[in-house]
Structure 1
Amino acid sequence: MLRAALTAVLRGEPGALARVVDGPAELLGKSLLVRPDGSYVGGLGGTAELDRTAAGAAGALLEAGRTGTVAVPADGAGPDSSRTGPGGGAYCPGGLTLLVESSVPPPRMIVFGAIDFAAALVRTGKFLGYHVTVCDARPVFATRARFPESL
């Protein structure tokens, strides 16, 4: 599962790694990788419903491009849900906390015109994490030497 997560990151594919950081000792460190289509790899070591609940929570953070923690209550019901685990009982005694680390491709910035102002804009865009591309019809101006931060 971790190999799948690393492979996705290296390919620039979006994904969210959800790991149990607080809860029952037997679940600590268990993880799953959630993809944008809702599919997931791995498991938390509990019930299938727990994995689906965790995948849904991680998918919501992935969609927003955010990293953070998510609390899963003992009955698996979310703040806006009345669902419970199989048979209505607790499927994770005491509940648990997930650390969800989202990895999404950087946003694109396209700069038209290879002028001095564009050089400053490219540096700023790269600093902010953008995938920057410079476009100019004059190939002598749009060079790697003038814009080393762009692609």
Structure 2
Amino acid sequence: MTIPLIDEYNWQELEQAYGSAENAPKFLNDLLSGDEDLLDEAINDFLFGQACHQYTTYSCTPPVVKCVVFILNNYELDSYIISQLLQFIHACTYNAVSIPELRKEILLGLNCYKVFEKHPDEKVDLTADSLIKFCSTYGG
């Protein structure tokens, strides 16, 4: 299973915390994997360790956010994965205040976040609410 818009980017020219983001497509596709090890690596090692490392973002982060919003909008996911993906986007908001391209991608996810606003999983609901507040604050 592949995410169609991954091919829109020249990932090897984008940077993540430890260098080139050339492996981003593999990790993004692994977010849809049924394999727990691949999924864990994609979330913890890639999203929270490379694309947004300790709240620092990189040139790969805006396209990664775009892909994550696409995944949230187009695939059936369990609450844990939804929560992790929303938390990743939320972690990106700290730098998005001063990085217009990143802010734009987060703001474009507003309708996605609204879908999860009343989610039965409290972590999903709270993170979605926080992202909606970010959008209302920085959406102009």
Shorter-normalised TM range: under 0.3
TM-score, normalising length: structure 2: 0.24
For the pair shown, the structure with the greater C-alpha radius of gyration is 1
Structure with the largest fraction of helix: 2
TM-score of the pair, normalised by structure 1: 0.23
